[in-house]
Amino acid sequence: MSRIGKRPVALPQGVSVTSGADFFEVKGPKGTVRRAMTSDVQIVTKDGQATVEAKADVAPEVGSRMSGTFRSHLNNAVTGVSKGYKKGIRLEGTGYKAELKGSTLTLSLGLSHPVVYEVPKGLSVQIPGDSKNTVLLLETVDRDLLGKAVAQLQSFRPPEPYKGKGVRLMVDGSPTASPVLVKIRQKAGKAGKGGKGGK
């Protein structure tokens, strides 16, 4: 078994783990995460900890790989249901803004048409009142769901490398009124490349 796979996952108060032949489920104060699981491993809970163990009839190299993989999934789920996962997004550009009605998020991103995004079940989206409709706060218990949502939202208007316009990630914990943005690798414009001006 891998060294990571051997490490037990501590279960905070109020968090429980159940598992079957092909799944595991983690419940906590923030919600529930259910994941498919290979039949090569099993989850054993004892004394407030959960350990992913390879089954006796599984080849050592397979058991080691699978135990490490599902230990990571289990740990992410425990963190999600106990603390939650959050991400802030800033719409950076003139006229960029967001509007949320029910589960429908409409984004104005400088395109010829608004972009409509249906918020998936299990994901909470808020637009803070002090952000002038340019900040989205995403929260969920499911780390994978959050990652997919952020990637899809950024795909609508990826941050461009010259002026930094686009759907930008905020530094965790930054204020919504004037957020700190995650840095992107910017490129110099043509005038800044040392090229000859004029004819």
Buried b (16+ CB within 10 A) or exposed e, 21-48: eeebbbbbebeebebebbebbbbeeeee
**How sure is the predictor about 193, in pLDDT bands with cuts at 50, 70 and 90?**
low
pLDDT in tens, 11-51: 999 999 999 989 999 999 999 999 999 999 999 999 999 99
Q: Where are the domains of the chain?
A: 3-82, 85-169
pLDDT in tens, 124-134: 999 999 999 99
pLDDT in tens, 85-104: 999 999 999 999 999 999 99
* 85-169 placed in CATH 1.10.357.10: no
* 3-82 placed in CATH 3.60.15.10: no
* Residues 6 or more apart in contact with residue 53 via CB below 8 angstroms: 1, 41, 42, 43, 44, 67
